[in-house]
Chain A
Amino acid sequence: MSYLKVRTRRADDALVVYIDGYLNSLLGEEVERVVQEALDAGSKKILLNFEGTRLINSIGISIIIDIVEKIMERNGMLAFCSLSRINRELFQMTGVARYVRAFDLEEEALGYFAQSA
């Protein structure tokens, strides 16, 4: 099973990326592409919203750490929100959680971006 739909929305100077479906196949490279495009266009603040994400596997982790690296290289800001318990644990286990702040709600994350403007 590998259904994935990636939508984006601008919130002030931040880009919110909604990852709906399964982050477990090459379809996930669409998330990388969207983030790369935003960075190339000068965006510095990226929020990944995992509300609709059903499953992340090791391919998904590979995609996420690639995004973390890209944003680090550009001195950008990255945050996660609406993680399920299982995905939270996955990010802890793989070390991703040490580098990226995760929030329960999208507004909290956007508020955090606004503070550090």
Chain B
Amino acid sequence: MGISPSRPEPGSVGGDRLPAGRREAFKLRALRDFTLCLARAREFDESLHLALMVLLGTYSIVKGVLFLKEDGEFRVRVSRGLPPGIPPIETSKELVSALRRSSQPVWMGRREISGAIRKAAADIERAVPVFSVNVLCPLGTRNGSLGLLALGPTFTGEPLTLRQRETLSVMTSLLSTHISNHRVLSDIFRLNEILRFQVQENERLLAGMQEIYLDTIRALAMAIEAKDPYTRGHSERVAKISVSIAVGLKLPEKEVQAIHIASILHDIGKIGTARSILMKPSSLTAEEVEEIRRHPQTSFEILSEIRFPYPNVAQLARDHHEWLDGTGYPGGKRDRQIPMGARIIALADAFDAMVSDRPYRDSLPLLAALGEIRSCLRRHYDPNVARMFFRSLRRELAGDPQETPVFTGLGKRFSRMATLEFLDRTLKDLH
């Protein structure tokens, strides 16, 4: 006979008497194993599985089952020594309040046990007929019940000693903390997922809004182009060049956006200029010049009415004809009085005007336009802005791969080599 529960095997290993220190060491090692397996398991169910095994091994208990409270009932999460498919245990107000009152393991042999807990043990035994509940451990924190741990009798049939009961209650409270931490973490992960989804959704909506917004701005610019066919495409070209310079100068994103909008709309004030003046094929009279010079101020007045999400859009449009030496209009501002954005738009606007046909003159050849800008540095144009402008044009002509061309109004009648030579020379001088 290898196994006889009724009759201990004599002689094989000697009696059960061991120094007390050995038992203490085993208990401490079990506690250490318990915390390690809670901390190191790769996932939650594995940690519970290991915790149950350590617990059962520590007390030589064969059967045990761990329920977690989910959706108002106690559902089996892990079990050992029991058949699979254990149904959930119903919870009740009485049980929940009984569990809240006793955070310690409940020994079913005791006399004074609350009816609700006795009923829970009976429910478990009815659900698993081969199981007899010896200890029912409530799992929970001050915030409420998390689950139940039901343990069967010890392997030897002996009751647990007082010291063993103490360790068991330490283990179940560690287990409660572990389950509670897991719950909090999964809540955080879930919230995080929801937030991430919301942020993505908002970004999508914002991108959509920005498209609509830019379309509106472009539509506004079309109004002036409809009146003056010679400026067709002018505002888009000036905008591309201006943004390229602004980005090259590493201006803050908001300022770049403001420059983008202002450069599209800088001529919006021409809506108030007589068509006959815009289309006039010969030199203008002094009065006509005065009228056309009113357009930046009109642009300012129109754009001041709009609350742009970027700063100073109206001011940038107003100052796009100001020159560094104070000979520009409408304010005759000098140097730093002119905002950086306006200095950028001034150069981009002047350049595109030079290389475009106008009612009173043909377009200037590219090299002549660049020479004109270079000759007016410091008097009209900001050298830093010009350097960035030349650099941007050089990069495009040198054929560096770029997603979209910046300079679309250059025409074809120019020498690439000669222009690059000019740009290299100019950039060297500007350095």
Contact = CB atoms under 8 A, between A and B. Distances in A.
A94 B15 CA distance: 12
Contact of A116 (B1, B12, B53): B1
Contacts of B155: 65, 68-69, 94-96, 99
A26 B37 CA distance: 10
A66 interface: yes
Interface residues of A, number: 40
Interface stretch (B16-24, B117-125, B181-189, B396-404): B16-24
A58 B53 contact: yes
Interface in A88-110: 88-103
A24 interface: yes
Dominant SS among interface residues on chain A: helix
Contact of B60 (A77, A94, A100): A94
B29 A57 contact: yes
A71 B56 CA distance: 18
B13 A102 contact: yes
B158 interface: yes
29 contacts: A24-B33, A26-B46, A26-B49, A57-B54, A58-B33, A58-B53, A58-B56, A58-B58, A59-B50, A60-B57, A62-B54, A62-B56, A62-B57, A63-B53, A63-B57, A65-B56, A68-B3, A69-B62, A79-B2, A83-B13, A90-B26, A93-B26, A94-B57, A94-B60, A95-B154, A96-B155, A100-B9, A101-B2, A102-B13
B9 A59 contact: no
A57 B33 contact: yes
Contact of B13 (A62, A72, A78, A88): A88
Interface in B1-51: 1-5, 8-9, 12-16, 18, 22-23, 26, 29-30, 33-34, 37, 46, 49-50
A116 B81 CA distance: 29
A34 interface: no
Interface string A68-82: 110110001111000
B16 A69 contact: no
Contacts of B54: 57-59, 62
A89 B387 CA distance: 87
B163 to A, nearest CB: 13
A83 B158 CA distance: 25
Contacts of B81: 66, 69
A2 B18 CA distance: 28
Contacts of A25: 50
A61 interface: yes
A68 B60 CA distance: 11
B368 to A, nearest CB: 82
Contacts of A60: 57
Interface in B39-82: 46, 49-50, 53-58, 60, 62, 80-81
